[in-house]
Amino acid sequence: MKGKGIFCLEAKWYNDLRKKSSVRPILELLEMNSNIPYIYADCATAAEFEFFLKKWALKKYISYPILYLAFHGSENGIWISNQFITLDEISLILKGKCTNKIILFASCSTINIDMINLKNFLQTTDALAICGYKLIVPWIQSTALELMILSAMQDNCFDGRGIAAIKLKLDEIAKMFTPLEFTILTKKEI
């Protein structure tokens, strides 16, 4: 049985293209060992990012309800090349298109903002949950956490009841990585 698909958008991490850092091996591991399908695209520009976000929101990708955004980040947004894209800008692109979907920001400090702003993001997008880091995080530890989180998201339905169980699991996993300050906010909490 196939798992809930992951739609991953990833930055070019370095200007030096010889450096090969990527979250793609996480996705390959999940697919090979847990039959979790994924779609992967790298984004070098804000236009590419917006293009792929809009693609993810299409009905034909409904079986990929997890949006995994792997970018450099800072408070309230992500970096694509030298352009900062705020959570508000992302929420407007995805306005009302994220019903029963979860958005994982795999980026430093992106959700280190006021709770009201996170709630507004959930309300605007209609996402089931948003999760990510409040701090600058080390690559290996955050990658290990993301692998466990993406796997744990598979066990329950993406609906009102299922998200409560998912949140409990993710909170337990995050306790093993307390210094990363991983946070999840669900629609049920707003």
108 within 8 A of 78, measured Cβ to Cβ: no
Residue 14: band (very low, low, confident or very high) from pLDDT cuts 50, 70, 90: low
Residue 190: band (very low, low, confident or very high) from pLDDT cuts 50, 70, 90: confident
Residue range(s) defining the domain that contains residue 112: 6-186
Sequence-distant (6+) residues with CB within 8 A of 147 are 26, 29, 30
Provide the number of structural domains found in the chain: 1
pLDDT tens digits along 58-103 = 999 999 999 999 999 999 999 998 999 999 999 999 999 999 999 9
pLDDT tens digits along 23-57 = 999 999 999 999 999 999 999 999 999 999 999 99
pLDDT value at 18 more than 80: no
Q: Does the pTM exceed 0.75? A: yes
Q: Residue 35: which CATH number?
A: 3.40.50.1460
106 within 8 A of 132, measured Cβ to Cβ: yes
Q: Is residue 115 part of a domain?
A: yes
Q: Is residue 1 part of a domain?
A: no
Q: Is residue 36 part of a domain?
A: yes
Residue whose C-alpha is closest to residue 72's, from 49, 119, 105? 105
